[in-house]
Amino acid sequence: MTGLYARWIDRWERKLATRDTNRVVRPFEWGTDWLHAIGFPAIAADPDDPPAALDAFDAQARADSDRFYRYRTPTDFGLRDGELTFTSPVQSFYPVNNVVRARWFRASQDHGRALVVLPQWNADADGHLGLCKLLNRFGISALRMTMAYHAERMPKELERADYHMSSNIGRTVHAFRQSIIDVRACLDWLEQQGYARLGVLGTSLGSCVAFIATAHDARVRTGIFNHVSLYTSDVVWTGLSTQHVRKGFGETVTQDDLRRYWSVISPAVYLERMRDRHIHSLLVWARHDSSFLPVYSKQVLRSYREMALPHKVFTLPCGHYTTGRFPFNWMDGLAMCRFAAERL
């Protein structure tokens, strides 16, 4: 990183990244018990050899991802005082996490257009509410979903959403699958309300969840992916915001190992599913991103070009954390809202 401006952004990024003092380096776990809970038989192939079991599980899940992300539509949707609640189709070991919560922001004249909105990792209960209100001004209704283990869904022993992404390999897979399926359940509710022009908007961790949900749900016609990378593992391994997670793996696994174990929860595996879908995608990346490194974001942009997938690129002149600071937050928000208004 060179240049006065780039160094200024880098200092600002690191200052923002070090504000939180509650990051915990958790012990490494294979997490095969979480994969048993999903119910794929491949995990039982060799229970005494976790790496082999993880490889077998991932291969089967990728080969039949429609089954992996299959679910039953919830029957207990309830909207009260602007909050939608329902039982997650995926059950974890934590009851508080199994109740999905989503804030509903209805535009006065949305013409049947609605987005499911997913904030970043560790977003609090108010994350992206301002963005939802801005979307309303553009004539788009927004359903802001709380992802697994975040905010109201967080178990009491946690201060951060560590159980969604951590050095427990199987639990991370389980959490991603739960959030992805919860997004699809939100689409069910919107469809029941009469919405036919549906899209998904996700930021950072939410971007990955949004992409995989989009790839597996034919109802989605617009995808807005705010910070992009092909592999979840690359972000965790190299990003500034996830170095405490990286330390938890120690020397037990390599970056290549983790890319393989977590491929089922990585956008790279599902790019082919975007062909012939005519999905309008907005890919947002930050030129000085310290968490989603530009080298990985550029891989996404190149893949879209090479595959001739319909998309638009918006480049932010900042970093990951600074995206949430003025004036970059307004640049980002307006770009996403304009794209949604044009393409949804």
- Look over the chain and give the mean of its residue pLDDT values, rounded to a whole number: 95
> What pLDDT score was predicted for residue 48?
78
Structure tokens at 145: 């979903």
Is residue 4 over pLDDT 90? yes
Report the domain count for the chain.
1
Contact criterion met (CB below 8 Å) for 25 and 247: yes
> What pLDDT score was predicted for residue 46?
61
Q: Please give the average per-residue pLDDT across 125-154, as a whole number.
A: 97
| Reported pTM | 0.97
- CATH at residue 235: 3.40.50.1820
> What pLDDT score was predicted for residue 17?
87
| Residue-number span of the structural domain to which 245 is assigned | 4-343
Condensed to tens digits (0 to 9), the pLDDT of residues 291-324 reads 999 999 999 999 999 999 999 999 999 999 999 9
Condensed to tens digits (0 to 9), the pLDDT of residues 235-293 reads 999 999 999 999 999 999 999 999 999 999 999 999 999 998 889 999 999 999 999 99
Given pLDDT bands bounded at 50, 70 and 90, which one contains residue 43? Answer: low
> What pLDDT score was predicted for residue 277?
87
* Contacts of 88 by beta carbon, 8 Å cutoff, 6+ apart: 74, 97, 98, 99, 100, 148, 178, 181, 182, 185
Burial 16-47 (b: 16+ CB within 10 A, else e): bbeeeeebeeeebbbbbebbbbbebebbeeee
The DSSP bridge pattern shows strands 99-105 and 113-118 to be unpaired
> What pLDDT score was predicted for residue 45?
53
